[in-house]
Amino acid sequence: MATLPEPLPQNPLPLLDQWLTDALATSRLPNSNAFALATVGSSEKPSVRMVLCKELSLTPGYLVFYTDYGSPKAEDIAYQPRVAAVFNWTEQRRQARLEGIAVKSPEEESDQYFATRDAESRIGAWASQQSRPLASREALLEEFKRVAERYHADAPESIPRPPDWGGYRLWIEAVELWVSGEARLHDRARWERQLSVAAESAFSASPWQVTRLQP
């Protein structure tokens, strides 16, 4: 029966990283790096959507996702940077829940990531103002064509990152790891630490405290 390691590690992030690597390596389904990101905006109503984890930095401990800085999720984060997230790896019978603070990635990091994207993804980032109303599907395809003509689609490096598109670092303050167990005796543990502002957009972290939880 799969369980969490005994004794529980002091720092959960290497294990989270291992779980992400395992899911990417063994899953027959796409997007094993997808997680649900929950935010709260000025309406105080929670909102949740899937995004892709493009990096997990073990030290100091944040994950990175990319999006449109004008999207509703970005508006929510500007209002309330505290967010929650969950990965569900059905095939591995594992779940990871996270809580933390989202801050925009440094511009150079977003530039570097954008530079790895293919021409169509780059053009798409210019052509779409995420979640804004669209008159028709055709209007979007026309805008895509217009952007493709403005830049050289056969030379993706000529397509710069739109200023309103980039990354967020989700600084991790709490992690719960869950492994499915027989007879519903799932194994769960929650790690917590405190983040304190150390510099603009960066935090220092206290040591982790871990508690095993009933299923």
Ligand X SMILES: Cc1cc2nc3c(=O)[nH]c(=O)nc-3n(C[C@H](O)[C@H](O)[C@H](O)COP(=O)(O)O)c2cc1C
Helix (H) or strand (E) holding 80: none
Our CB check for ligand X shows the closer of 71 and 110 to be: 71
Site for ligand X in 68-87 (CB under 6 A): 68, 71-73
Our CB check for ligand X shows the closer of 68 and 187 to be: 68
Site for ligand X in 125-184 (CB under 6 A): 130-131
CA distances from 83 to 30, 159, 190 (A): 24, 31, 17
Q: Is 49 in the site for ligand X (CB under 6 A)?
A: yes
Our CB check for ligand X shows the closer of 62 and 65 to be: 65
Cα–Cα distance, 170 to 63 (Å, whole number) = 5
Among 16, 19, 20, 66, binds ligand X (CB under 6 A): 66
Closest distance to ligand X from the beta carbon of 128 (Å): 10
Q: Which residue has the tokens 């995420």?
A: 130
Closest distance to ligand X from the beta carbon of 107 (Å): 18
Closest distance to ligand X from the beta carbon of 190 (Å): 26
Cα–Cα distance, 191 to 175 (Å, whole number) = 5
Q: Is 52 in the site for ligand X (CB under 6 A)?
A: yes
Stretch that binds ligand X, among 61-69, 108-116, 146-154, 206-214 (CB under 6 A): 61-69
Helix (H) or strand (E) holding 25: helix 13-26
Burial of 94 (0-12, 13-18, 19+ CB in 10 A): buried
Cα–Cα distance, 69 to 28 (Å, whole number) = 32
DSSP type of residue 136 = -
Summarize as ranges the residues that interact with ligand X (CB under 6 A). Answer: 31, 34, 47, 49-52, 65-68, 71-73, 130-131
